Amino acid sequence: MSTPEEAAFQEALSAIHAGEKQRARDLLTRLIKKNPADSRYWLWMSAVVESNREIIFCLKETLKRDPQNYTARRGLILQGELPLDPQMAIPLELQRRNWEPQYFSRQAIPGQLPGLSPLRLGLTIAGVLVLVAVIVIAVSGFNRQEVPAFLSWLQKYTPEPTRNTTVEPLIFASTSTQPATPTHQLSGTPEFALITATPTALYVNTLHPRTESYRSATLAFQRKDWNAAVNYLDQAIKEDPQPDLYYLQGEAYRNLDKVPEALQDYEQAISLNPRFAPPYLGRAQLRLQTSPSSTDAIRADLEKAIDLDANFLEAYLVLGDFEIDQQNDRPP
């Protein structure tokens, strides 16, 4: 008798096979939160997430739990995250067996050898007719005036080879159809990835069970619809309070010039995860807008963000602008 957890996993697999990625993501997210040690959940999650960064993260989490997992290792090779392994290459004869019978069966027509395309058939007929013409000329002794006339007749009644402009696709199995992209190695909590679609660099994508609200919030950020972003994030926080959600809501409040609300969200994100770099940057930017004279606190937050994540480009830029402004304000 299967357990409720196994039943939920089978339901997620059924959703994947039915093309219901949204439902599969929700089910797998709940399974991962309940039992993150099961490598199967991470492997199948890599098949339903949307970005390359999410795919790579899920495959790496699979290998952490199952270092010999062939599918995860092959997926990371295809994503460019692992070097090529000749031992994992599919032999040529096996690759041909996958597509050759189907290819030739599509090409077969009555009276034609299997695999003989219309182009090859036309060229074969033309070659035979030319050979017959040469033999006839040699045997019958045509004179020079008769040869051009015969060749003209031959050209008239020789069928032109059929031009087949349709290219048969060769389909090879792969864990992903998206091109590999470089990823950032982030310190602190590993499940946060860096994107730049919003006014500030946001660390996402935590696996939130309420994905509809979260995705709607990120779309609102792209539109700079801060009020909508606050509403959607508020729904997501009620379902699954995570530090990145509070950080995003703080960013939305900061853009709405709602200082107390923004500060409260940044500090709530820090209290949930003190090693999460973005809220330190957000708090520094908020102080730059509202109390630029608190230079020590601003510098401390920016340096803390960089200390937690050495790849946090925006923190470097804000700190650089801040130091330049401080130097310009000093008397000569």
The answer to whether the CB of 221 falls within 8 A of the CB of 195 is no
226-239 and 211-223 helices, crossing angle to 10° = 160
Check pLDDT > 60 for residue 315. Answer: yes
| Closest by Cα among 54, 36, 35, 40 to 12 | 40
Residues 148 and 44 in one domain: no
Mean pLDDT is lowest, of 79-83, 251-255, 257-261, for 79-83
Is the confidence at residue 85, as pLDDT, over 50? yes
Please give the mean pLDDT across all residues of the chain. Answer: 74
169 occurs within a structural domain: no
Residues 281, 302 contacting (CB under 8 angstroms): yes
Give how far the C-alpha of residue 53 lies from the chain's centroid of Cα atoms, to the nearest Å.
6
pLDDT value at residue 211: 60
Confidence of residue 116 (pLDDT cuts 50, 70, 90): low
Q: Has residue 186 been placed in a domain?
A: no
pLDDT single digits (tens) 285-314: 999 999 999 999 999 999 999 999 888 888
Residue 261 pLDDT > 90: yes
Residues 199 and 273 in one domain: yes
Which residues are 203's β-sheet partners?
194
pTM of the shown model: 0.43
State the total domains in the chain.
3
pLDDT score at 83: 83
| 192-249 pLDDT tens trace | 333 333 344 445 545 555 467 888 888 888 889 999 999 989 988 888 888 899 999 9
Q: What pLDDT is stored for residue 268 in this prediction?
A: 94
Question: What single-letter amino acid sits at 226?
Answer: W
Whether residues 74 and 28 share a domain: the answer is yes
Domain membership flag for residue 19: yes
User: Could you tell me what percent of the chain has a pLDDT over 70?
Assistant: 64
Q: Which amino acid is at 44?
A: W
| Banded pLDDT at 270 (limits 50, 70, 90) | very high
Alpha-carbon distances, residue 215 vs 207, 250, 268, 314, 316 (angstroms): 11, 17, 21, 23, 28
Q: Which two tokens stand for residue 32?
A: 């991962």
Q: Read off the pLDDT of residues 1-39 as tens digits, 9 standing for 90 and up.
A: 578 888 889 999 999 988 888 999 899 998 998 898 999
Is residue 181's pLDDT more than 90? no
Tokens of 155: 């050209």
**Tell me, what's the pLDDT at 332?**
59
Distance of CA 319 to the CA centre of its chain: 32
Residue 47 domain-assigned (yes or no): yes
Both 201 and 149 in one domain: the answer is no
The reply to whether 81 and 138 lie within a common domain is no
- Could you tell me where the beta strands, DSSP code E, fall in 250-313? none
Q: Is 231 contained in some domain?
A: yes
- Check whether residue 138 and residue 256 sit in a common domain: no
- What residues make up the domain containing 56? 4-87
Question: Which band of pLDDT confidence, cut at 50, 70 and 90, is reported for residue 136?
Answer: low
Q: Is 195 helix (H, G, I), strand (E, B) or coil?
A: strand
C-alpha atoms less than 13 angstroms from C-alpha of 104 in its C-beta half-sphere? 10
CA neighbor of 294 nearest in space, from 302, 284, 304: 284
pLDDT for res 44: 92
Where a domain ends, among 87, 115, 140? Answer: 87
- Dihedral sign, Cα of residue 304, residue 309, residue 314, residue 316: positive
The answer to whether 15 and 6 have CB atoms below 8 angstroms apart is no
Neighbours of 117 (CB within 10 A): 16
More confident residue, 282 or 127: 282
